[in-house]
Amino acid sequence: MLVGGRGRAAYVDPFDRICHGLGPRGPATTDSKEVVSSLADARPAGTSMRRICRGACARARFRVLAGAMCAKGAQGGADTLEGMTIAANIANTIALYGLGAAEALAETVWPTRCAVCDAPGEPLCEHCRTALRYVDWWRACPRCGAPFGRLQCCECNEVMLAAIGRRRPAFDGMTAAVTYDDAAARIVRSWKDGGERRLAREMACLMAPQVPPGWLTDAPVCVPIPASGTAKRRRGFDHVDELSREVACALGLRRVGLLVPPRTLDQRTLGRKGRIGNLSGRFRVIEGATAPPHVLLVDDVCTTGSTMSAACDALRAGGAQTLHCLVFARV
């Protein structure tokens, strides 16, 4: 594909495009000059230069591995397996050093800045981390996680549940780390759409302490809410899958992807009733899989709870008995 900017033009081969989330279409070429600069001009909104550098390392690793395998494969016999092992080790070593060099280059040209205040140094600075509006467990609703629903919740009372055809919430409890305000929105946007994937660990470190100890006595399994195919192609990664890995690591739990990505409209463009109808019955457990009895469902933001409810319905149908939900931010 021919891309360019500021009067330049360069060819980008399909593997480069896949690495950077631009899609595989376009003519192949071996000319790699100006690839990074051209991709920087042609990349869609939300694609960071760190992601471009990582993609370049993945491309180099692929070509080294493929070349070494072909060279060894030509010898035939027992040397083929040994050659593949050596090629894999070489490719991994090159990828490791290449990723380190790419990170150093990215840090020099595009230094790390706080997602909230834009101060250089860390993805989330200590001042902004402290200033976040954390959810007070003593004031929050223990059933739906609403920040101010301990005495009388306006989100999961009988009237609100009857309006959506339920007698009780689909889950047994929900908790959140912070209230969804401007600072939390900046963090989520920088992580999901800005390409600052290191924020997943920062978010998980804030979410893990919010889990009540009673939820962990039965060793639940972390299950992420899967991103839709459209969102995954737009961002180049499954954001909640990465978040669930960090949460599982922080809590010492297993993580299993059990849900099939739904085919739905973008939730961000819908109201409360639209969100509920958009996801109702759209989730399902992977064919042939059985849900574990105790599940900790992980997502980034809870607005109306429709996504969590639909996912919990599918997990209960798949065999889950106890379902608790953990999110980074609660509206």
Residue 185 and residue 116 in contact, taking contact as beta carbons nearer than 8 Å: no
- Detail the DSSP E strand segments found in 180-229: 221-224
Is the overall model pTM greater than 0.85, yes or no? Answer: no
Residue 307 and residue 266 in contact, taking contact as beta carbons nearer than 8 Å: no
- At 87 the pLDDT is 76
Lowest mean pLDDT segment, chosen from 38-52, 138-152, 218-232:
38-52
pLDDT mean over 171-175: 96
Residue 6 has pLDDT above 50, yes or no: no
Residue 279 has pLDDT above 80, yes or no: no
The pLDDT tens digits of the residues spanning 297-327 come to: 999 999 888 889 999 999 999 999 999 999 9
CATH of 135-330, one of 3.30.1490, 2.40.50, 3.40.50, 2.40.160: 3.40.50
Question: What is the CA 153 to chain-centroid distance, rounded?
Answer: 30
Domain ranges of the chain: 2-109, 135-330
| Residue 321 identity | Q
List phi, psi (to 5°) of 11. -90, 140
Residue 146 has pLDDT above 70, yes or no: yes
- Detail the DSSP E strand segments found in the chain: 2-3, 10-11, 173-179, 221-224, 294-302, 322-330
- Torsion region of 288: left, alpha or beta (phi above 0 gives left; psi -120 to 50 gives alpha): left
Enumerate residues 6+ apart whose C-beta is below 8 A from 47.
20, 21, 195, 236
Percent of the chain with pLDDT over 70: 69
Residue 90 and residue 64 in contact, taking contact as beta carbons nearer than 8 Å: yes
**CA 198, CA 107: separation in Å to the nearest integer?**
13
Q: Most confidently modeled of 46-50, 193-197, 251-255, 262-266?
A: 251-255
In the block, tokens 């370049």 appear at 56
